[in-house]
Chains A and B, each alone.
Chain A
Amino acid sequence: MTTGIDLSQPQAQAIRSDEDVVRVRQLVRTVAVAAKLSLVDQTKVVTAASELARNTLVYGGGGSVEVTTMDNGRRRGVRIVFADSGPGIADLDLALTDGYTTGGGLGLGLSGARRLVDEFDIDTGAGRGTRITVTKWAR
């Protein structure tokens, strides 16, 4: 079943279950292909989205994602905003340290996702949820 997606509009997707993480990956891949990212960059941004979507689900208790096609006149790109109203991150520097985890994972999701994208912005604090904006530009 194919659904026509109007890629000029931001695409929203709720993150409530593991299946939603798969949907986020597919959505980001579709947008990345449309933005003409190379195969390597597609894979990088899809993987980063996968990490951040899972963080939203596991640590944020679920949330939402919005995927937008960007165009700064010279290059096209993909912007993804993850938002949850979970407990937030108290110590951001610690959370961004390779190998640090509170959930039994590899501890590379957040720090690795930052290395996979071109722009990484995080707005969080203890008790006020987390909002992460990442952008990947076509080369």
Chain B
Amino acid sequence: MALNAEESGRLAALLSEHVDQVTQRWTEAVAVQLRGRLSQAELRRQLQELHRAILTTAENGIVDVDAEHAAELRAVLGELSRGRARQGFSATETAISVYALKEVLLELLEARGGESVLRDFVAFSGLIDQMGLFTFESFVRTREGLIADQAEQLLELSTPVVKLWDGVVAVPLVGTLDSARAQVVMERLLQTLVDTGSPYAIIDITGVPAVDTQVAQHVLKTVVAARLMGAECIISGIRPQIAQTIVALGIEFGDIATKASLADALRHVLRLSGVETSRRSRRGA
């Protein structure tokens, strides 16, 4: 709700006549809610900036968060919410920084007196609500951004390809294997096979809570792709409940070697490569 020109002028007058009192009382009111998690000096600086932004907006026209000349006000509000969101404050604690201005204005209006006290307070409240909502939206946007970043980081983190032995690489899968992650896993594994020249790859699914047809299909595709590149894949980490579920679902792993644990898979691979080594030494002899 935007203020009309008269209300806007009265708000500017009120705020500019009592600069120190407003910032002082405002800082106190917010500090109580934040319980000392932000220093008074820092808080005062932020609120002074916001105070100035409201006045600047009033100088250029009517105080309205959506107005074109209120860009600075929006920037200050946005900066405040982004800071709060990053520092781990809740949405309420962020919005309270704005809403606390209501109390301060009420005190000033009461002191001023006059006929328009009630009408002004309702109008100012509407404006502050609008500012609060803007803060809330910026806060949520920042949080969503953080979550998206973290999801991306997680995607990177959760798909390492590790070298277990000379010529043996392993991919320990943890969590949900959706299409995006399956793609990352496959790319990483195939690239590592090329880089290291490994003839064996172990895909460990101990950390995958449920193996459904989609997960199975992704794993099977990865195995086939690795085979095309000349590497043999072993699937390990098949727990009893997963084995029974796979049988009931009717998924066939065909001639792909599967093992209960990563240790079994490694032993299997070492035996395979051990035979080759002895053959080569015989050939050399």
Contact = CB atoms under 8 A, between A and B. Distances in A.
Interface of A: 18, 22, 25, 29, 39-40, 42-44, 46-47, 50-51, 54, 98, 105-106, 108-109, 111-113, 115-116
Contacts of B213: 51, 105-106, 108-109, 112
B122 interface: no
Interface residues of B, number: 20
Interface stretch (B15-23, B32-40, B246-254): B246-254
Interface in B19-33: none
B212 A43 contact: no
Q: Chain B contact residues: over half helix, strand or loop, or mixed? A: helix
A111 B251 CA distance: 11
Given A108-B250, A111-B250, A112-B250, A25 B210 contact: yes
Interface string B206-236: 0001111110110000000000000000000
Given A39-B241, A111-B250, 7 more contacts: A18-B178, A50-B212, A54-B214, A106-B251, A108-B250, A108-B251, A109-B212
A116 B245 contact: yes
Contacts of B216: 106
A136 B104 CA distance: 60
Q: Chain A contact residues: over half helix, strand or loop, or mixed? A: helix
B60 to A, nearest CB: 42
B277 interface: no
Contacts of B245: 40, 43-44, 47, 116
Shortest Cβ-Cβ A-B pairs, 3 listed: A112-B249, A43-B241, A50-B212
